[in-house]
Every structure is written in structure tokens, then in C-alpha cells.
């Protein structure tokens, strides 16, 4: 098991992707603190927020594969398509689901005022704005490039 951990730690593509994700999570927590003026521990692991950590992870993965194996490599194509799907999902499907949750939460709250409704609050911060996805992509690219140059 130790050999696997050591080998994974030497894998520049994996380390690059995980580093981009960790930096994005820290930045997301900091931007939430700046915006709300309170520490929200959920931001360290939760979905949504600035920048998109999912996007940072997959863009760093794709770029690191490109830098390592070449941008013409089939593995880069796989990673790039995966990154595109994740970014589309983050800014499209998950964002729409978050908007729907917000409307449903408002309806449940309004019904609860007039009637007896058991409140089951839905998570509203699921997806990302295009700017949050772009910021995540730029972060992922920067981290992959830094690992390519200095690792």
C-alpha cells in the first residue's frame, strides 16, 4: 500500500489535478467568507461557489496530461472531453437544479406560513455561474502549467 501512495505522489498529472482542486476549495472558502462575513466550513467541501473546484480539477487534469503526453495524445482527448462535460454540467444542469431548489424552498416556506407543511430545505448552491467555471478553468490551467514547469 505504501508503494502505491509513493507512486501516486510522483504522478505529476494526479498531483497537479488534486492541487488545483485543493486551491480552489480554499479560495472558495475565502470568497464565501469575504461575501458573507462569516466562516462557513461547508464551503471547504460543498458544491457551488467561486471558483469551481470541479472545473479546476478536470482542467488541470486535462492540461497536465497534455503537457506530459502531448496535446495530440488520445489520453488528452479523453481528459479534455471529460473536462467539457464537467464544465457543462456545473454551469448548466447543476445550476438549473439549484435555481429550482431555491424556488421550491420559497414555496415550502410560503405554504408553511399558511398551512402545516413539514419543511425539508433543499440545497440551493449546486452549480456555478459561467464566471465561476471560467475562474476554475484558469486556475486549473495555471496549476498544470506550474507543475509542468517546476515539478
The pLDDT tens digits for 107-139 are 666 666 666 656 665 455 556 788 899 999 999
**Residue 95 neighbours by CB under 8 Å, 6+ apart:** 126, 127, 128, 129
For residues 14 and 5, what is the distance between their CA atoms, to the nearest angstrom? 12
For residues 67 and 2, what is the distance between their CA atoms, to the nearest angstrom? 27
Query: 17-56, pLDDT tens digit by residue?
Result: 999 999 999 999 988 888 778 887 777 777 777 899 999 9
Tell me whether residue 58 is exposed, middle or buried, using C-beta atoms within 10 angstroms of its C-beta: 0 to 12, 13 to 18, 19 or more: buried
Tell me whether residue 120 is exposed, middle or buried, using C-beta atoms within 10 angstroms of its C-beta: 0 to 12, 13 to 18, 19 or more: exposed
* Among 5-14, 62-71, 105-114, 131-140, the least confident range: 105-114
Query: What's this model's pTM, rounded to 2 decimal places?
Result: 0.76
Amino acid at each position: 500500500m505504501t508503494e502505491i501512495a509513493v507512486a501516486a505522489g510522483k504522478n505529476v498529472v494526479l498531483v497537479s489535478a488534486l492541487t488545483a482542486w485543493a486551491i480552489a476549495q480554499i479560495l472558495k472558502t475565502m470568497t464565501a467568507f469575504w461575501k458573507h462575513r462569516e466562516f462557513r466550513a461547508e464551503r471547504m467541501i460543498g458544491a457551488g461557489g467561486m471558483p469551481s473546484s470541479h472545473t479546476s480539477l478536470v482542467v488541470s487534469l486535462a492540461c497536465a496530461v497534455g503537457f506530459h503526453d502531448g496535446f495530440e495524445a488520445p489520453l488528452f482527448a479523453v481528459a479534455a472531453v471529460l473536462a467539457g462535460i464537467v464544465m457543462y454540467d456545473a454551469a448548466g444542469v447543476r445550476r438549473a437544479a439549484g435555481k429550482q431548489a431555491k424556488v421550491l424552498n420559497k414555496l415550502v416556506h410560503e405554504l408553511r406560513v399558511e398551512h402545516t407543511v413539514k419543511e425539508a430545505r433543499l440545497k440551493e448552491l449546486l452549480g456555478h455561474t459561467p464566471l465561476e467555471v471560467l475562474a476554475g478553468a484558469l486556475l486549473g490551467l495555471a496549476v498544470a502549467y506550474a507543475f509542468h514547469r517546476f515539478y
